[in-house]
Amino acid sequence: MSEVLVVVDHVDGAVTKPTLELLTIAKRLGEPSAIYFGGGAVPSVLAEHGAEKIYQLDDAAYTDFLVAPKAEAIAKIAGDSSPAAVLLSSSAEGKEIAARVALKIESGLITDAVDVTADGVTTQSVFAGNFTVQSKVTKGASVITVKPNSANPEASAGAGAVEAVSVDISDAAKGAKITDSQPKAESGRPELTEAAIVVAGGRGTGGDFSEVEAFADSLGAAVGASRAAVDSGWYPHSFQIGQTGKTVSPQLYVANGISGAIQHRAGMQTSKTIIAVNKDDEAPIFELVDFGVVGDLKTVLPQATDEIKKRKG
């Protein structure tokens, strides 16, 4: 059975959920091998989710420079192992690495897949979610980036054999050096693009996100915002969802006081279940919801929050 390389996304050894989803998808395609950039003990969760082999690459080049050294290293491993596929998470970094790897190993590239079948056919949602495209790489190992929440992580024991790999990184790959970095301020909420539940607010909040945040917290959800809310200075730009903001694809998306403009839909239309709260029953958002509440978010959300808290005990 061919290897399927999964590039591990982690913060100081804490492996992200999208990586576990990739391992689950990898099992459909072949034998999962994880590529882990970092020193110390390799996280056991990789083997617990099916990684038969774990390539460990511990070199300052991977943290001191931008993505080019990682792309070179992954391309080298792919060249040596002839995998069936290389899977990465659809983050900005994942997509940039994927493009570089595909070019180096002369393979086809598919980004933002929301599903991958056992025979390598991917599903993508394109043009603001108006079309669903199925495609397959026909040249070389498939290099595929997969959106978070595209699979449920399934535990299954893999051998987890760690193999230390050292790659000579070219000077050309060390062109852009990281000179400083700062940890993101903790909000206590999940990362927006990875969250299983996203609660978003728009112009209808009138600038007060407290009901939206309280509802999100009752569900353990991330908070997002429409561009109108962000442009008004009501919420930071990094939380904008849509064509010019972030793309989210959670299990549940709750839009509050958001009209559903095409540019907003472009960032959330692949959410599995969509709920909207809007006081205008003709708001375009109601065209794509699974469940709609016509009402004022200032009265609907506090009631929903209380009810959820009550049921959670």
Residues that bind ligand FAD in the complex, under the rule CB under 6 A:
202-204, 226-229, 240-245, 257-259, 261, 263-264, 267, 277-280, 283, 296-298
User: Which one, 82 or 303, has the nearer CB to ligand FAD?
Assistant: 303
Q: What is the CA radius of gyration of the chain?
A: 21
H/E stretch holding 5 = strand 3-7
**CB of residue 158 to ligand FAD, shortest distance in Å:** 39
Beta strands (DSSP E) in 104-251 are 109-116, 122-126, 131-135, 142-146, 161-164, 197-201, 222-225
User: Which one, 105 or 274, has the nearer CB to ligand FAD?
Assistant: 274
User: Which one, 158 or 224, has the nearer CB to ligand FAD?
Assistant: 224
**CB of residue 196 to ligand FAD, shortest distance in Å:** 21
**CB of residue 221 to ligand FAD, shortest distance in Å:** 18
User: Which one, 87 or 275, has the nearer CB to ligand FAD?
Assistant: 275
Contact, 269 vs 215, CB < 8 A? no
In sequence order, the 6+-apart residues with CB closer than 8 A to the CB of 310 are: none
**CB of residue 193 to ligand FAD, shortest distance in Å:** 13
Alpha helix ranges (H) inside the chain: 17-29, 44-48, 61-64, 68-81, 92-104, 210-219, 227-231, 262-265, 297-312
**CB of residue 222 to ligand FAD, shortest distance in Å:** 15
Contact, 204 vs 258, CB < 8 A? yes
User: Which one, 125 or 142, has the nearer CB to ligand FAD?
Assistant: 125
